[in-house]
Structure 1
Amino acid sequence: MSNVLITGGAGFVGSNLADRLVAQGDKVTIVDDLSMGLVENIPDSDLVTFYEESITNKEFMEHLLVKNKFDYIYLFAGVASVADSVARPYETHQVNQEANVFLLEIIRKRKLPVKKILFASSAAVYGDDPQLPKTELSRIKPLTPYAIDKFASERYMIDYGNLYDLPTVAVRFFNIFGPKQNPSSPYSGVISIITDCIREGKTFNLYGDGEQVRDFTYIDDIIDALLLLTRSDNASNTHGTYNVATGMKTSLKDMISIYEDIAGKKLDIKYLESRKGDIKYSYADTSKLCKLGYKPKYSVEMGLRKYWKYVNEKGGNDYENFNN
């Protein structure tokens, strides 16, 4: 049994990771202020301890780290709304960067015996650089405070690893979808919003012509990658940043067409002008991660089928909670 900390564990990725860890018998501690996550996402298990708290509470976080001496730490907490980071750059910076650096410093100063620290970054760090597919060596061009903080935090992770021999790794997520993604969130993935629109007969606002290309990745593949990077012997000595995606590109129009066939319903679409700053094409080169043994299992269609089944058979209560 491993002792694991997940910050932001009531959110989409964190709660899915918690489900997998609990299923394999790990003890999981979750810290989440519920500003974006949902308590309903947290696994109902004696193996889970939940604290409704902000990671910016330095006294609380230091006490938690020193007391528990976690084996694995997954850093997902953050203000995920790009618009919010533009409106409140310093406040979001305190959560998205300063709090994570503080945790690294406590681990360093207290010489805590962590086996692996993983930080969740974002493909947003690439900005609108035209090179495709995005590799880990692609030009970094963060266009918002959110992206700046993500890149700065991943650099702190890697350099703390190199300078102080901490077992750190960072991942850049692309377009993830799957169960427990909140369609009402200000930074929700487009697929969860489309799912809600199809189920509820709502109109979907499509900004642009629908030819935007993305690397849509089902959540189970994401969790496989996270466990590979933190638990696998192949990744035991890795310091660095990894794209986590499928390496496959799909246009928004094509994804909608596939989803309509699966749902047996047409999506009501309202076409609007492209939003300023929206990136037209974004998909990943995952060869660096694949060299460690990563093999995504889900095509877009397979992931959409599983997601649609979930929201209709198991996830109805989730969507009721989202919309209340």
Structure 2
Amino acid sequence: MEFVKGKKILVTGGAGFIGSNLCEKLLKLDHWVYCLDNFSTGRRENIAELLEHPKFILIEGDIRTLRTCSEATEGMDYVFHEAALGSVPRSIKDPITTNEVNITGFLNMLMAAKEANVTKFIYAASSSTYGDSTSLPKVEDQIGKPLSPYAITKYVNELYADIFHRTYGLNTVGLRYFNVFGRNQDPDGGYAAVIPKFIKMLIQHESPVINGDGSFSRDFTYIENVVQMNLLAMSTDDEAALNQVYNTAFGERNTLNDLIDNLKELLSQKDPAIADVKIIYGPDRIGDIPHSLASIDKAQKLLGYAPKFDFKSGLKHTIDWYWGQMSR
């Protein structure tokens, strides 16, 4: 796929996991990259090397402030909106802040993008939007009722994006991320994602705790596949492909028990003692969807999406990165 160069691109949440990977790739493609982040969940170490790049500009600010969004978006060609407060448990504990960031902040960014006449507004949607729908695989136009405040906020994002296109002509593309993992993902904190958290614990010979019996399954998606989807959404000029929402996944599912087995197998090649680390099983987590599997047919057809990394190859790359980080 070919991409234009030299565009001015704003990445909100650019110091976060997905945002920092996206910033890095956009710089390699010779764009000017502006990163807007308030570092509430983003990490400075994720962009430490990028700060030395002459075409990378850091803007410290909060998307809950409209003026900040407007100033950051002025003169931009494209906006990648990755900033959000993730985590289902966090949204259950604090729905107010989740709403402020994920809905008010999102609306601020849409307004700013509209006023700045950006070419395209590409935003992080979520597989949590499928809610209590039990059908598998998940198809974009078949959703259920949300199961958490977080899921509500991400669905509202999609509704607002649609209205802004219909009312103001702003071109948007929403990407429903399915359990993304890879380098730069924070393994620490109460709301850490399962893969980096488990990798760190196993490296330290600590016992990971699985919520439930391990039979819940997810469409675990390596970060490089997600970056590819974002670039495809940016580059498409096909009217049929714009103002759509796409599943962003690999299109296969693995249980949490599969995950643990693969992590122990790959990590024990580096440290044989990891094979003997005990796994603990706890209660189910409130708001969790039992099974998640994406249909990627729509993205393949309209965007030409062709994910290059399956679950195990993505895990291997991820483990190699964390092993290097923790060995420093």
| TM more than 0.5 | yes
For the pair 1:251 / 2:255, whether they are aligned, the reply is: yes
Task: Summarize the alignment of residues 253-272 of structure 1 with structure 2, pairs less than 5 Å apart.
Answer: 253-264=257-268, 265-266=274-275, 267-272=277-282
Alpha-carbon separation, structure 1, partners of 2:110 and 2:288:
33
Alpha-carbon separation, structure 2, partners of 1:62 and 1:232:
25
AA aligned to 1:283 is L
Sequence identity percentage: 33
Cα drift, residue 103 of structure 1: 2.3
Structure 1: which 5+ runs fail to align?
Answer: none
Alpha-carbon separation, structure 1, partners of 2:202 and 2:241:
45
Please name the residue that 2:213 is paired with: 209
- Deviation string 1:293-324 (CA, Å, 9 cap, x unpaired) is 101111111111111111223x337xx8xxxx
Report how many residues are paired: 313
For the pair 1:220 / 2:224, whether they are aligned, the reply is: yes
Task: Summarize the alignment of residues 229-244 of structure 1 with structure 2, pairs less than 5 Å apart.
Answer: 229-234=233-238, 238-244=242-248
Please name the residue that 2:285 is paired with: 275
Alpha-carbon separation, structure 2, partners of 1:90 and 1:254:
35
Q: Is the 8 A contact 2:36 2:72 kept in 1?
A: no
Q: Is the 8 A contact 1:177 1:217 kept in 2?
A: yes
Cα drift, residue 235 of structure 1: 6.8
Please name the residue that 2:83 is paired with: 77
Cα drift, residue 74 of structure 1: 0.8
RMSD: 1.7
Q: Is the 8 A contact 2:89 2:286 kept in 1?
A: no
For the pair 1:285 / 2:295, whether they are aligned, the reply is: yes
Please name the residue that 2:43 is paired with: 38
Cα drift, residue 144 of structure 1: 1.6
Q: TM-score, normalised by structure 2?
A: 0.90
Please name the residue that 2:96 is paired with: 90
Alpha-carbon separation, structure 1, partners of 2:45 and 2:292:
32
For the pair 1:294 / 2:305, whether they are aligned, the reply is: yes
- Deviation string 1:85-114 (CA, Å, 9 cap, x unpaired) is 223323321110112112222333x3x231
Larger mean CA deviation between 232-241 and 197-206 belongs to 232-241
Alpha-carbon separation, structure 2, partners of 1:166 and 1:304:
37
Larger mean CA deviation between 212-221 and 137-146 belongs to 137-146
Cα drift, residue 209 of structure 1: 1.1
Q: Is the 8 A contact 2:126 2:154 kept in 1?
A: yes
Q: Is the 8 A contact 2:219 2:250 kept in 1?
A: yes
Please name the residue that 2:3 is paired with: none
Please name the residue that 1:27 is paired with: 32
Q: Is the 8 A contact 1:229 1:235 kept in 2?
A: no
- Deviation string 1:19-66 (CA, Å, 9 cap, x unpaired) is 101111111111111111101101232211112211112222222223
Please name the residue that 1:54 is paired with: 62
